[in-house]
């Protein structure tokens, strides 16, 4: 039996485009001699559809699309994911399901059992878990078909009290197939490989796993579909961050030692780079926009975002706005211009000195002679935000936010100023990782000026300002933030690692106090195991200091 894995980029709710893509790949798989082609979890509607699932019409359109797909399944079978109605009154109204389609008809329906509700997942909000399990008979083989999380309950601290495969294995299947929508993080590929290999070894069966690829707002899917033999040896690893369709012979996977061609494993910084490119590209394409605008300060954050946007959209579609103030250094303006010249994007220079002066003048009576402080600094940042949004409104550009994760964590940013935008490009990338990205972007030639990379970071909102005036050095700050955010460590556990007690308490307080700001920021492209946004939900007025 020849099995094709179709790793595709879907668009949530775009039934016409998704159906066309699926049917085209059914034909492609057929042309390549496949007996069965496998598509991803909720492929018909795209993942995650969220509250679209609450509309009856949405579910009807999913079923209509499935019936259209079935017409193309002649001389080839397919497995495709979609939401379906729960005909039983008790319980949730829907199942997260998969259709097995053969000879133009739905021959079997498999429902997802383990419904994740952690991090970015919220499936139990919509779906009823399956309680009955049966294998699928096809071409003399028994297929144990599962959906994403159904294979993930295989570790030292299981989240669920049951495993679907423990039931399916009783029917003595010949192969496991798992369809998934498994979001990217730069640590997740290794976890995924281990989980699937452990399943292959535990049940002594080959595993065929297909994942989505593409970005859905902040969530990025990296593809990387996989095949394992019954010993848990990886036999194939499909492309990352790209659509891909490959055909595998089940007999070869079971009996031949040779491996199929595998993708080259990427380093963390390479994965983050490619994920952000895909995230920007899909945000614009799926939203119907093509041109971006951002404020370019001469600092490393905006430089990296500009470089990424130019790679994703083309430099001709990126507008960099330089907005020097009376505190901007000559080298910052020059660094920004050097980047523009190196990369070839559009640019405008809009000085803000006069505008800031006008604010000083009209606010002087109200400020009653009080000294210059954070208020005047934030006014400058908000002036820049207004100019960026004016460019967006006038020309139809989408504003890219350039705040990094370190700044987002401790609230080092101005609401309605440098924190505004439609999508946060590097809001899940710590400052030290931003430096790594800059060096990676420069690996073949200098795109980001070296001076941008080596100079001390500064917001340049007051004379001789440096980030280190307000924040700990980023090398230390990022390590403490990582322990607190990604590792979920409280202050005592972090201090026990050797970090200064006063510094840890100060940083964690800054994180908690800044929660109200993060509630008002744009969606952030997720590249880490724990990103700000829908995957990290904290109360604004909570007192717990962790």
Domain with CATH 3.40.50.620 in the chain: 271-467+514-518
Q: For residue range 353-411, list pLDDT tens digits in order.
A: 999 999 999 999 999 999 999 999 999 999 999 999 999 999 999 999 999 999 999 99
The pLDDT score that the predictor gives to residue 544 is 73
Neighbour count for residue 487 (Cβ, 10 Å): 12
Cβ atoms of 277 and 306 within 8 Å: the answer is: no
Q: In what order do the strands lie in the sheet with 2-7?
A: 105-111, 94-102, 77-85, 36-38, 2-7, 244-249
The pLDDT score that the predictor gives to residue 250 is 96
Residues 507-529, mean pLDDT to the nearest whole number: 96
The conformational region for residue 181 under phi > 0 = left, psi -120 to 50 = alpha, else beta, is beta
Please name the fold of domain 271-467+514-518: Rossmann fold (3.40.50)
**Catalytic residue flag (residue 41):** yes
Domain with CATH 3.60.110.10 in the chain: 2-265
Give dist(CA 103, CA 228) in Å, integer: 28
Annotated binding site for ATP: 295-302, 402
From the candidates 2, 41, 128, 377, give the one annotated as an active-site residue: 41
Per the document, the length of the chain is 546
From the candidates 21, 30, 111, 112, give the one annotated as an active-site residue: 112
| Range with the poorest average pLDDT among 21-35, 172-186, 450-464, 498-512 | 450-464
| pTM for this predicted structure | 0.95
Decide which of 3.60.110.10, 3.90.1300.10, 3.30.750.24, 3.90.1150.10 is the CATH code for 2-265: 3.60.110.10
Give dist(CA 43, CA 363) in Å, integer: 55
The pLDDT score that the predictor gives to residue 459 is 66
Annotated binding site for L-glutamine: 118, 182
The pLDDT score that the predictor gives to residue 461 is 66
From the candidates 62, 73, 78, 148, give the one annotated as an active-site residue: 148
**Residue 258 to residues 207, 244, 418, 474, 486, Cα–Cα distance (Å):** 16, 21, 53, 47, 38
pLDDT bin (cut points 50, 70, 90) of residue 546 is: low
């Amino acid at each position: 039996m020849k099995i094709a894995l179709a790793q595709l980029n879907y668009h949530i709710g775009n039934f016409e485009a998704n159906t066309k893509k699926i049917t085209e790949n059914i034909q492609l798989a057929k042309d390549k001699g496949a007996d069965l082609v496998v598509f991803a979890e909720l492929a018909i509607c795209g993942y995650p559809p969220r509250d679209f699932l609450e509309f009856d019409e949405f579910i009807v359109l999913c079923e209509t699309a499935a019936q259209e797909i079935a017409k193309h399944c002649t001389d080839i079978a397919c497995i495709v994911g979609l939401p379906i109605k729960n005909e039983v009154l008790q319980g949730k109204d829907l199942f997260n399901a998969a259709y097995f389609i053969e000879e133009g008809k739905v021959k079997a329906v498999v429902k997802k059992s383990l419904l994740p509700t952690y991090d970015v997942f919220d499936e139990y909000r919509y779906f009823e878990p399956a309680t009955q399990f049966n294998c699928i008979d096809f071409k003399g083989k028994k297929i144990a078909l599962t959906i994403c999380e159904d294979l993930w309950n295989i570790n030292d601290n299981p989240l669920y009290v049951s495993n679907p495969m423990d039931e399916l294995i009783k029917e003595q299947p010949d192969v496991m197939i798992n369809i998934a929508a498994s979001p990217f993080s730069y640590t997740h590929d290794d976890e995924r490989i281990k989980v699937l290999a452990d399943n292959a070894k535990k049940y002594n069966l080959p595993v065929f796993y297909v994942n989505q690829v593409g970005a859905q707002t902040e969530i990025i899917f990296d593809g990387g579909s996989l095949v394992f033999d019954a010993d848990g040896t990886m036999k194939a690893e499909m492309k990352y961050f790209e659509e891909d369709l490959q055909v595998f012979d089940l007999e070869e996977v079971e009996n031949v030692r040779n491996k199929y061609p595998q993708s080259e494993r990427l380093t963390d910084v390479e994965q983050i780079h490619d994920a952000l490119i895909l995230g920007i590209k899909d945000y614009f394409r799926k939203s119907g926009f093509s041109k971006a605008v951002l404020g370019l300060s001469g600092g490393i954050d905006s430089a990296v975002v500009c470089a990424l946007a130019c790679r994703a959209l083309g430099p001709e579609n990126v507008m960099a706005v330089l907005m020097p103030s009376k505190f901007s250094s000559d080298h910052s303006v020059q660094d920004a211009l050097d980047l523009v010249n190196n990369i070839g994007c559009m640019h405008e220079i809009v000085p803000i000195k006069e505008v800031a002066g006008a604010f000083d003048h009209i606010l002087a009576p109200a400020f009653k002679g009080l000294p210059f402080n954070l208020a005047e600094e934030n006014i400058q940042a908000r002036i820049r935000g207004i100019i960026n949004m004016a460019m967006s409104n006038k020309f139809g550009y989408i504003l890219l936010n350039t705040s990094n994760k370190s700044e987002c964590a401790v609230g080092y940013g101005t609401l309605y100023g440098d924190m505004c935008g439609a999508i946060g490009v590097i809001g899940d990338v710590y400052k030290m990782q931003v430096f790594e990205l800059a060096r990676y972007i420069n690996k073949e030639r200098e795109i980001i000026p070296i001076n941008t990379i080596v100079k001390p970071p500064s917001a340049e909102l007051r004379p001789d300002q440096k980030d280190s005036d307000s924040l700990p050095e980023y090398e230390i700050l990022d390590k403490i933030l990582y322990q607190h955010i990604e590792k979920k460590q409280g202050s005592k556990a972090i201090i026990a690692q050797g970090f200064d007690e006063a510094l840890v308490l100060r940083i964690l307080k800054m994180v908690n106090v800044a929660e109200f700001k993060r509630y008002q920021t744009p969606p952030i492209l997720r590249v880490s195991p724990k990103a700000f946004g829908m995957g990290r939900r904290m109360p604004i007025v909570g007192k717990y200091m962790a």
